[in-house]
Structure 1
Amino acid sequence: GLSGCHARSVPQDESKNPWEITVERFNDYFTDLNSKADEVVRGIQSSQISRELDGLIQDSMAELATYKDDLQTKLVP
């Protein structure tokens, strides 16, 4: 009859009990979560570096402006 139609679609799971399958899914979920967390941390680090570079550039430009003003006052009689 038709009893053959109800075979499982994932044959490797046949030897595992529901608890093992649940633990595997839980593990997969945490592995995925960890990789996403790593991406977030990398994004935060790169934006921190970007902000630090912006700050450094602004500080350097301010110092150059001060230096330029100082030179002008010394050179102009």
Structure 2
Amino acid sequence: MAAKNGQTQPHDMAAMSAEEFAKLDADKNGQLSRSELPKEHKFAAHFDMLDTDKNGTLSAAEFAKGHGM
């Protein structure tokens, strides 16, 4: 939900991020692999940068941090 000034609030961004993550996590293992992230997704080009623990997948926390970029 947007604030009166029309800007999205941080808690709204977190909810949107969690919802988007859940939709993309096709195998429901709590991680996003490269194959689950569509090439046209805004984070696809930044996958390696967002994967801060370098395990080859994005956790929900890593994905959420990407929304703050």
Give the structure-2-normalised TM-score. Answer: 0.29
Bigger CA radius of gyration = 1
Q: Which has the higher helix share?
A: 1
Q: Which has the higher strand share?
A: 2
Higher relative contact order (CA 8 A, sep 6+): 2
Give the structure-1-normalised TM-score. Answer: 0.26
